[in-house]
């Protein structure tokens, strides 16, 4: 069962996370709890896979240069290649897809030359070619959403009865 504090953190701070030297203390003061309670709850939410990270979302190419990259990797080598790619600090995240191009990742670099250098290094270390899929047109999708976990739990109980 998710706590009331966890629900408040998930609902209230998806988009309005305080930008200050003490964001967790600021949140604690807003919610009337301690900073340790906020930190412990965020830690538990991450451990329970409710959240994967806390950090900014920066529009592509507004700071540095970025590109989406796809690779065609033999299934038996997918995990090994993904591990190599994950070691590059310029790689934001990578993930497998069910497709001929089965390994995808986002690469962010300081400039275009750095981006090309990292891609060349990835190809050298993995032995596989990369396919760049640069952003041509920017679309904004608001990924914030209000969680009403009590209603969802009640609906599931009713459906399973």
CB 102 within 8 A of CB 143: no
For residue 23, how many other CB atoms are within 10 A of its CB?
15
pLDDT tens track, the chain, 161 positions: 788 999 899 888 887 889 999 999 999 999 999 999 999 999 999 898 888 778 766 666 556 688 999 999 999 999 999 999 999 999 988 889 999 999 999 998 999 999 999 999 999 999 999 999 887 666 655 556 666 655 444 434 444 44
Instruction: For domain 65-133, give the CATH number.
Output: 3.30.70.3460
Residue 30: burial class (beta carbons within 10 Å; 0-12, 13-18, 19+): middle
- Gap between the Cα atoms of 66 and 133, Å rounded: 10
Domain boundaries, the chain: 4-56, 65-133
pTM, rounded to two decimals = 0.58
């Amino acid at each position: 069962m998710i706590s009331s504090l966890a629900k408040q953190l998930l609902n209230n701070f998806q988009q309005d996370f305080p930008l200050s030297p003490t964001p967790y203390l600021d949140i604690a003061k807003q919610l009337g709890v301690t900073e340790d309670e906020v930190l412990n709850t965020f830690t538990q939410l991450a451990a329970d896979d409710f959240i994967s990270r806390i950090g900014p979302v920066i529009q592509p190419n507004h700071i540095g240069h970025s590109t989406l990259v796809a690779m065609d990797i033999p299934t038996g080598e997918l995990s090994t290649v993904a591990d190599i790619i994950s070691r590059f600090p310029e790689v934001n995240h990578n993930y497998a897809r069910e497709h001929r191009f089965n390994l995808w990742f986002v690469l962010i670099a300081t400039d275009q030359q750095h981006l090309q250098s990292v891609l060349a290094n990835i190809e050298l270390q993995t032995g596989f070619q990369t396919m760049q899929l640069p952003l041509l047109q920017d679309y904004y999708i608001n990924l914030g959403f209000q969680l009403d976990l009590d209603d969802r739990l009640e609906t599931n109980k009713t459906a399973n009865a």
